[in-house]
Amino acid sequence: MTSFTTNDEFKSAGARTFVQKKADEVEEEQFDRPKWSPEMSYRGQQYRYLTHQSNVMGYVKVKLLSASNLARRDWSYLGSVPGASKLGLAKGAEISPYMEFEVGRAKKASSVVANTSNPSWKRESFTIPLRKGTFADGANVILKVRGMESQAVLESVLPTAVKGDKSLGNGGVDITDLCTGTSDIIDTTIHLEPQGEVRCLIGYEPHGIEPAVGDVVVMEAFARRRENLIMDKDAPMKVLAVNGNYIHAQYRMITERFGAVKIHRNSVFVVERLNFVDGLWNLAMKPSDIVLGTKAGHKASKMAKPYVNYVGELAKPAMFSAQIAIGAVKASVNAGLSGASAAGGSILGTKSPAKL
């Protein structure tokens, strides 16, 4: 049996089914592409669940409570025009603030509270996606906060030099511990520069398949800290056990020996999982795997390789058609299993994530 040390070598060998080729096309759009390991993959295939998160690691959940001591940083020249405030063309002495929250390149804005420097919000909650590709490996995850003043109609079309800067202050909070599972919910007051405070509750919910025993997982970018240098930062790990929110996983160290680590579920995402169809296929292939794994099997395989290659070239069109048919059957069965699982979840009930 031919062995491949990298996924690219396997692809170049031409042994790809139609379904696998489509998976390769999707992989090219994946921002976070971990190290491929033949021993961690299913029969030398590309990680089949690599793109199931759609490039979203998780969701930052913010509940905005209140702000205080907000003040206008810049005065609008329109405010000095007689009657401009009454006509709605410019703001008066009171400010009408709102808040902007940003993580990576994703941004959300709150509603406006009119005419107050100490606003409060009763039901102001929103979710911000934490996207792959927006953070360097091991970088801290920062939630940026910016206080803003609502603009009047005329101010929205005028340059800043005339209407003044509408920013009331900037601040931020490090939520890395929240993402890695060290903290559950952050109840914090964020200080704005040059003036003001914002109070909010912050939570985090991972996105994707929940890790289970036997899964192959990879650390999210924010979890690849310097203290993990004993292993490759994007190396795959096999889940050995699940205990609450923590998993015990096995990985190959730089020294080629195996090690184990206990890590929070938030810090990893699933890239490979065996299903019922895979189990049946493995059961059918196990006898041949055992035979080929023996010394005599290796020798026989080596002697027969030239003849097998020749016959394989002749049979390629028929084999490719058969692979497409098998792939279609597996896809249909998997879809049926997914539907049955969803129906079972509806009947038995599912556990909802904690709300802020």
Q: Which of 274, 294, 321 is the last residue of a domain?
A: 274
Per-residue pLDDT of the chain (356 residues; tens, 9 = 90+): 344 344 444 444 444 454 455 555 544 555 666 777 767 766 667 777 777 888 899 999 999 999 999 988 765 555 555 555 544 444 555 788 999 999 988 999 999 998 899 999 999 999 999 998 888 888 899 999 999 988 665 555 555 544 445 789 999 999 999 999 988 899 999 999 989 999 999 999 999 889 999 888 988 988 887 655 566 777 888 999 999 999 999 888 777 788 888 999 999 988 888 765 555 545 554 555 445 455 665 566 666 656 555 555 555 555 555 555 555 555 565 556 555 444 444 333 434 444 45
d(CA 348, CA 64): 34
Q: Which pLDDT score, from 0 to 100, does residue 52 have?
A: 80
Q: Which pLDDT score, from 0 to 100, does residue 51 have?
A: 78
- CATH code, domain carrying 263: 2.30.30.40
- CATH code, domain carrying 152: 2.60.40.150
Same-domain pairing of 234 and 149: no
| Closest among 92, 191, 180, 197 to 141, alpha carbons compared | 180
Same-domain pairing of 111 and 228: no
Please report which helix (H) or strand (E) contains residue 71, including its range. Answer: none
d(CA 20, CA 22): 5
The number of folded domains in the chain is 2
End-to-end CA distance of the chain: 54
Domain hosting residue 141, numbered range: 57-206
Same-domain pairing of 195 and 260: no
Q: Which of 274, 300, 318 is the last residue of a domain?
A: 274
Q: How long a stretch of residues is the chain?
A: 356
Q: Which pLDDT score, from 0 to 100, does residue 318 have?
A: 56
| Closest among 77, 78, 73, 62 to 97, alpha carbons compared | 73
Same-domain pairing of 151 and 93: yes
Domain-embedded: residue 328: no
Q: Which pLDDT score, from 0 to 100, does residue 50 have?
A: 77
Q: Which of 147, 174, 206 is the last residue of a domain?
A: 206
Going edge to edge, which strands form the sheet with 216-219? 258-264, 246-252, 237-243, 216-219, 268-272
